Amino acid sequence: MSELVVIFTTPSQSEADVVRGLLETHGIMALIACDMARTPFPMSVNELRVAVQEEDAARATRIIESHREQSGPANVVPFGSELEPLERRIGYRFKDRGLLEHALTHRSRVHEDASGGVFDNESMEFLGDSVLGFVVADMLFREFPQHNEGQKSKLKASIVSATALARLGEKLNLGDFLILGRGEEKTGGRGKRALIADGYEALIAAVYLDGGIDAVRGFIERQFADLLEEARRTGVRAAFTEDYKSALQEWLQSHERGLPSYRLAGEIGPAHRRRFDVEVLVNGEVVGRAEGQSKKEAAQEAAKHALEVLSRSQ
């Protein structure tokens, strides 16, 4: 068997995969290898090597060079450019795009790769969770000095919840950029909210590692602007949850108002299409009213309405 010859090196798994795929479409078998030991985070010095049989080396090199130049200088699409749309959406351009690639790599991709050069994003999720918690805590400390520790803790828990992160990730179409194994891909991994939330945390870590605390703070402030504005307006977790009854109670307690009560004001429609009309009262005064297909749904909507009315009156 002839010797293997390295004909391409890169720190990017995505780029290495593109090169291997390109060569294999021309009938040249290629191997991706990495001699570096696994570490919690990728380093720019880590290089993946694409190697081919010695007799294929010259032709493989020509194929790669022709691929770089085939569309002319004005139209060349560099390897790794598939992540540029995500960079535009988040408003941050990576100096080391390998960090972004690492953040998007699910463990299913690692399990299906034999090269040893692929790293999953689980350690970055851990870091991203910590960075997000710190930045959000700092923001809430500055934004809500009138709130006690318990109230700020509840706000923080709601803001950084998996549900909130999944929603933000979906707005970015983050699932489209996840690097998944074939099995996870076939089972609809790109649409799984848990994977999107995890990837979002890892994305935060990637921005922090690449640009530092100022860069990640700017990213978080942009991403969470709408949620924080709602929190400024209501001062409760209603911006991040559908439990408006609990949110209303917390708002009233924080403003030293009485506890809310609910009463059924009426029922509308035939038995099979019944709708319920519920009012919410504070100190005997109706502050919200809504209809729903169940008493529970109507009460939640009435509480939401009450929150909107009360917050506007402050």
Q: Do the Cβ atoms of 10 and 47 come closer than 8 Å?
A: yes
In this structure, the chain runs to a length of 314
Distance CA 308, CA 253 (A): 16
SS3 category, 267: strand
Cβ neighbours for 77, distance < 8 A, ≥ 6 positions apart: 71
Distance CA 260, CA 283 (A): 8
SS3 category, 224: coil
SS3 category, 255: coil
Sequence-ordered strand ranges (E) for 186-272: 260-268
Give the HSE-up count for residue 8: Cα atoms under 13 Å, Cβ half-sphere.
30
Catalytic residue annotation: 129, 201
DSSP string covering 279-294, please? EEEETTEEEEEEEESS
